[in-house]
């Protein structure tokens, strides 16, 4: 466990790496290699389970996606984001604005006038 205090409730706590239950094993030099083999096997089993659950998924899924087993496609950009994408460079050149802040303020004004029409 690699802790200073060994007082852990083994009924509640699980391993932080493989999420397996703790077992009480007497520590000795004789069985140290057996314990390491057992740990390695259990971690490999757990990682195989996780790999099979996430097979075919690219990127890091969120906790909700793992819990609900939903791997959603990226959401579509909103109208303002599309407006910024289309008009950012033209407003920056036309108005001769140098800072990002000024360009975004101008885009915001233009978008507001378009959306109220």
The Cβ of residue 67 has, within 10 Å, a number of other Cβ atoms equal to: 9
Could you tell me the residue ranges of all domains in the chain? 1-71, 79-116
Would you say 10 and 24 are in contact if contact means Cβ atoms under 8 Å apart?
yes
**What span, in angstroms and rounded, lies between the C-alpha atoms of 8 and 10?**
6
Residue 66 confidence (pLDDT): 62
pTM above 0.75, yes or no: no
pLDDT averaged per 10 residues, the chain (length 117): 67 81 70 78 83 67 61 76 94 91 94 88
């Amino acid at each position: 466990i690699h802790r200073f205090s060994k007082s852990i409730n083994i009924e509640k706590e699980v391993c932080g790496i493989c999420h397996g239950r703790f077992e009480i094993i007497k520590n000795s030099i004789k069985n140290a290699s057996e314990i390491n083999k057992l740990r390695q096997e259990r971690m490999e089993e757990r990682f195989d389970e996780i790999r099979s659950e996430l097979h075919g998924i690219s990127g890091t899924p969120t906790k909700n996606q793992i819990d609900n087993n939903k791997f959603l496609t990226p959401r579509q950009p909103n109208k303002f984001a599309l407006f910024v994408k289309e008009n950012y460079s033209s407003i920056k050149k036309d108005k001769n604005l140098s800072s990002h802040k000024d360009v975004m303020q101008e885009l915001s004004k233009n978008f507001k006038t378009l959306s109220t029409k």
